[in-house]
Amino acid sequence: MSPDVLYTPSPTHIATSLWTEFTGFVNEAHNEKIDTETELYRWSIRFPDRFWRTLWDWLELPFDGSPDPVVENRGVQHSRYFPNVRLNLAEVLLSPRRGIPGTIVLSSRHETGPGKDWTLAELRAEVAMRVTGLRSLGIHRGDRVVAIVHNDDQAAISALATLALGAIWSSVAPDLGKDAILSRFSQLQPSVLFAHTHTRTNGQSQSLWPLLSQVVAGLTSSNTELFSVVVLDITEPLAPPNDLPARVRTLTAQEWRTEAPDPLRFDRVEFDHPAYVLFSSGTTGPPKGIVHGHGGTALEHNKELLLHSNLGPTDTLYFQTSCGWMMWNWQLSALCTGARVLLYDGSVTWPEKDSLLELIRNEGVTAFGTSPAYIQMCMATGVHPTRPDPLRLVLSTGSPLFAHQYDWISQRLGPVQIDSISGGTDILGCFFLGCPNRATVRGFSPIISLGLDVRVANENTLSDHGAGELVCAAPFPSRPVGLWGDHDGSRFFAAYFAERPNCWSHGDWVELNPDASARVIGRCDGVMNIHGVRIGPAELYPVVLGFTEVEAAAAVDQEFPAEPGGRRLILLVVMKPQLPLDRPLILRIKKALRDKLSQHHVPQLIISTGGLPTTFSGKISERAISDAIHDRPIRNQAAIRNPETLSTIRDQIIGSAG
Amino acid sequence: MHSSELRELILDWLDDNYHFGDARTLMHDDNMSWLENGILSSLGFVQLILFLEDKLGLVLDRDRLTRENFDGMNKILRHVLGQKGTPA
């Protein structure tokens, strides 16, 4: 066995996996003789319509209409899947075909102690009450419901109720600053805000009303509609302050509880009807509101969680995430598998550094989702977990999982299957995933997501193996419906299709193997990844350029193994003449970024430089800086007006110890 | 290294990375818990450990990095200065 193979699934596991079941289903339906995982992947991209239709049949999702045609409009940007299907994502999640009646499907835990468990029937009843409550506020199909919430059952129930109505859900975690929240939610003109009123971590409680008040004031300043704040805290909700605008109504979700709830009804909507808006910031402009549809999300998540992760009713999934990351939406979808979804709100190191892994062990988690940043924290602080007995799968995402981190997981938590999975907010899913039938090979994701025609691009050449920029060369159902407010589609085109028309350009630099295993090497589009959190440089600029001493700024990330997550954020500033970048100013800039955006937006290094590389149209090229400081060829050098700045910046950064 | 020098080094690091000029004001008691008082997150502790190891050229004993040994200024000073290999 190769020394890079860390885990091999047993023949019994392979024989009984959902991957194997689906392969047999495909072979029977299409008279094929597919045997290997690579063969199934290749078949899925060679005959995409057959693949998606077969997957549809195998899943048996609740729907109205007809699954024919599978797709209309053939281009990647304009394809429209299952145009004659009507379904509801919440109904899909709350109707698990493989679920076992009476078992717990959702559990909520907090660092302060035990939480609550929900059977499917209890969960559906609670969602029904929240649907009725939202209806009483006048919420219906297409309305926007936003949330500043912890990762608990109340957040999950609120999201499911919103989806059930055909309304649109968008959430952030309370650690995001006011400016960052308003730059996202104000685009949506929401009618309701779900919120927790205090945060309790590391044994301490803190009111969230100072943040909530500012957000509510910002959201209601530009419209005169009635706006409702629905408080989700079950115990000791904090009373709202007196300075909320008069038209803001505040109530608690508990007020909607009743002994005889209305039956739970789902609004079956078009396949592409918006379910979620997730935000992602890039190198220019405000954060993009990426709109994901009911059907694409339902189909893709069923595929990823059943086929690629092999989750079922005997599993408990815990994924370490906040409500502001797409993995929260992803893990909530595991309800569709019949597995128990465990939610945890609190510090991962309270009261002890191994508290989270103790939770994993005590709760009998079988599938643990985490990130390289957490694994590095465990390694750096000397966590020695007791192996959680039922654990069979570790999922890692957020940034590439390094070889020594594979080893730590394997030695401390193993033997387990380790899937480094990768995709993102843009597709609310993954391009690279696990495969229950495959061995864990150190450094590589087991397989490309079925049905996604992933290639690597180098200049104008596309290949199915080697290193290059990740592109998807064929339509896929989980492609976002579009960007919020982008009525003519021009921003959507510019974000994903301008570089290579009719290909989805994802911005990751990856390596593909002939057997369809793969790995992510890093970003290649100027978007940064700090501590596993994706950050667009454009978010920092309004704050930094708000300092009168600063003339221009550029933010990039750099590979930096000593930093948790393996990358550090560098802010380059051009100062106005005669003005120094001294330590007091550096601290003021950092403080402003922390207060207005978040701690993740604080650079590890701020340096003054003489000039920034700009294109002939005047745009600063973060991508060129990133290429220069990583000693890569400058991909757009011909478009840079002042390429001499790149070597100066490179020397400054490479020469900087801090 | 003297205790007061190490204390200043740590306070400067806290200012550079988490408190941006407010560290000395917040640190009104060297015996206070940093986790309980929001001085440092778990991620911050990792960054501080890596910083101290890099700056002082030592490897801290991971098994002894517990809350009892590391959650607070005095605990960190005692732990680091008692560690074999800390510069004199």
Residue showing tokens 């115990």: A235
**What is the distance between the alpha carbons of residues A394 and A370, in angstroms, rounded to a whole number?**
7
**What is the distance between the alpha carbons of residues A640 and A621, in angstroms, rounded to a whole number?**
8
ipTM: 0.90
Query: Does A3 score more than 90 pLDDT?
Result: no
Confidence of residue A176 (pLDDT cuts 50, 70, 90): very high
User: Could you tell me what percent of chain A has a pLDDT over 70?
Assistant: 99
Q: A623: Cβ–Cβ under 8 A, 6 or more apart, which residues?
A: A283, A524, A525, A526, A635, A636
**pLDDT (tens digit per residue) in A265-301:** 999 999 999 999 999 877 778 899 999 999 999 999 9
Which one, of A527, A503, A521, A508, lies nearest residue A623 by Cα?
A: A527
Does B54 reach chain A within 8 Å, measured CB to CB? Answer: yes
pLDDT attached to residue A74: 79
The size of the A-B interface in CB pairs under 8 A is 70
Does A657 reach chain B within 8 Å, measured CB to CB? Answer: no
* Domains of chain B, first to last: 3-81 (1.10.1200.10)
Does A350 reach chain B within 8 Å, measured CB to CB? Answer: yes
> With b meaning 16 or more CB within 10 Å and e meaning fewer, what string describes A160-170?
bbbbbbbbbbb
Of B35, B43, B63, Cβ closest to residue A202: B35
**pLDDT (tens digit per residue) in A540-559:** 998 999 999 999 999 999 98
What stretches in chain B show pLDDT beneath 50?
Answer: none
Confidence of residue A583 (pLDDT cuts 50, 70, 90): very high
Query: Does A178 score more than 70 pLDDT?
Result: yes
The verdict on a CB contact (< 8 Å) between B35 and A348 is no
* Min distance B88 CA to chain A CA atoms (Å): 23
**pLDDT (tens digit per residue) in A56-71:** 999 999 999 999 999 9
SS (H, E, C) A6-46: EECCCHHHHHHCHHHHHHHHHHHHHCCCCCCHHHHHHHHHH
Closest alpha carbon within chain B to A566:
B47
pLDDT attached to residue A37: 98
**pLDDT (tens digit per residue) in A429-462:** 999 999 999 999 999 999 999 999 999 998 779 9
The verdict on a CB contact (< 8 Å) between B47 and A564 is yes
The verdict on a CB contact (< 8 Å) between A351 and B64 is no
* Min distance A352 CA to chain B CA atoms (Å): 7
Mean pLDDT of chain A: 93
Query: Does A506 score more than 90 pLDDT?
Result: yes
- Segment A477-501 mean pLDDT: 95
Q: At what angle do helices A372-380 and B42-56 cross, to 10 degrees?
A: 60
Task: Find residues 1-30 of chain B whose CB sits inside 8 Å of chain A.
Answer: 15-18, 20-21
**What is the distance between the alpha carbons of residues A553 and A603, in angstroms, rounded to a whole number?**
12
**pLDDT (tens digit per residue) in A114-155:** 799 999 999 999 999 999 999 999 999 999 999 999 999 999
Q: At what angle do helices A209-220 and A178-185 cross, to 10 degrees?
A: 40
Domain A104-270 has CATH 3.40.50.12780: yes
pLDDT attached to residue B77: 94
**pLDDT (tens digit per residue) in A291-308:** 999 999 999 999 999 999
More confident residue, A575 or A235: A575
Query: Does A8 score more than 70 pLDDT?
Result: yes
* Min distance A591 CA to chain B CA atoms (Å): 6
> With b meaning 16 or more CB within 10 Å and e meaning fewer, what string describes A425-447?
bbbbbbbbbbbbbbbbbbbbbbb
Mutate to test the interface with B, among A205, A582, A587 (most CBs of B within 10 A): A587
Radius of gyration in angstroms for the set of CA atoms belonging to chain A, rounded to a whole number: 24
Q: How far is CA A38 from CA A27, A34, A44, A483, in A?
A: 14, 9, 10, 34
pLDDT attached to residue A210: 95
pLDDT attached to residue A658: 53
One-letter amino acid of A391: L
More confident residue, A201 or A18: A18
* Min distance A276 CA to chain B CA atoms (Å): 29
Q: How far is CA A444 from CA A420, A520, B5, in A?
A: 7, 8, 45
Question: Can you give the residue ranges of every domain in chain A?
Answer: 104-270, 531-654
CATH class held by domain A531-654: alpha beta
- Residue A275 phi/psi, 5-degree rounding, is -110, -50
> Are A574 and A550 spatial neighbours (Cβ–Cβ below 8 Å)?
yes
CA A174-A168-A93 angle, 5° bins: 95
Confidence of residue A562 (pLDDT cuts 50, 70, 90): confident
Query: Does A240 score more than 80 pLDDT?
Result: yes
Does B59 reach chain A within 8 Å, measured CB to CB? Answer: no
User: Could you tell me what percent of chain B has a pLDDT over 90?
Assistant: 50
Confidence of residue A1 (pLDDT cuts 50, 70, 90): low
pLDDT attached to residue A106: 98
User: Could you tell me how many residues make up chain A?
Assistant: 658
pLDDT attached to residue A561: 80
Confidence of residue A565 (pLDDT cuts 50, 70, 90): confident
Query: Which of the residue ranges A85-89, A108-112, A514-518 would you say has the lowest mean pLDDT?
Result: A108-112
